Amino acid sequence: MDGFNTRAIHAGQAPDPETGAVVTPIYQVSTYAQDGVGGLRNGYEYSRSGNPTRTALQECLAALEAPGIESARGLAFASGLAAEDTLIRTVLKPGDHVVLPNDAYGGTYRLFKKVAEPWGIDLTTAAVTDPDAIAAAMTPKTKLVWIETPTNPLLNIGDIAAIAEVAHAGGALLVIDNTFASSYLQQPLLLGADVVIHSTTKYLGGHSDVVGGALVVADAELGEQLAYHQNAMGAIAGPFDSWLVMRGIKTLGVRMDRHNDNAAKVVELLEGHAGVGQVFYPGLPSHPNHEVAKKQMSGFGGMVSFRVKAGEQAALDICSATTLFTLGESLGGVESLIEHPGRMTHASVSGSPLEVPNDLVRLSVGIEEADDLIADLEKALH
Which residues have a catalytic role annotated?
48, 105, 177, 202
Q: Give 354: exposed, middle or buried? Use CB within 10 Å, 0-12, 13-18, 19+.
A: buried
Overall size of the chain counted in residues: 382
Which among 278, 277, 87, 282 has a CA at the least distance from the CA of 180? 282
**HEC sequence for the chain:** CCCHHHHHHHCCCCCCCCCCCCCCCCCCCCECCCCCCCCCECCECECCCCCHHHHHHHHHHHHHHCCCCCCCEEEEECCHHHHHHHHHHHHCCCCCEEEEECCCCHHHHHHHHHHHHHHCCEEEEECCCCHHHHHHHCCCCEEEEEEECCCCCCCCCCCHHHHHHHHHHCCCEEEEECCCCHHHHCCHHHHCCCEEEEECCCCCCCCCCCCCEEEEECCHHHHHHHHHHHHHHCCECCHHHHHHHHHHHCCHHHHHHHHHHHHHHHHHHHHCCCCEEEEECCCCCCCCCHHHHHHHCCCCCCEEEEEECCCHHHHHHHHHHCCCCEECCCCCCCCCEEECCCCCCCHHHCCCCCCCCCCEEEEECCCCCHHHHHHHHHHHHC
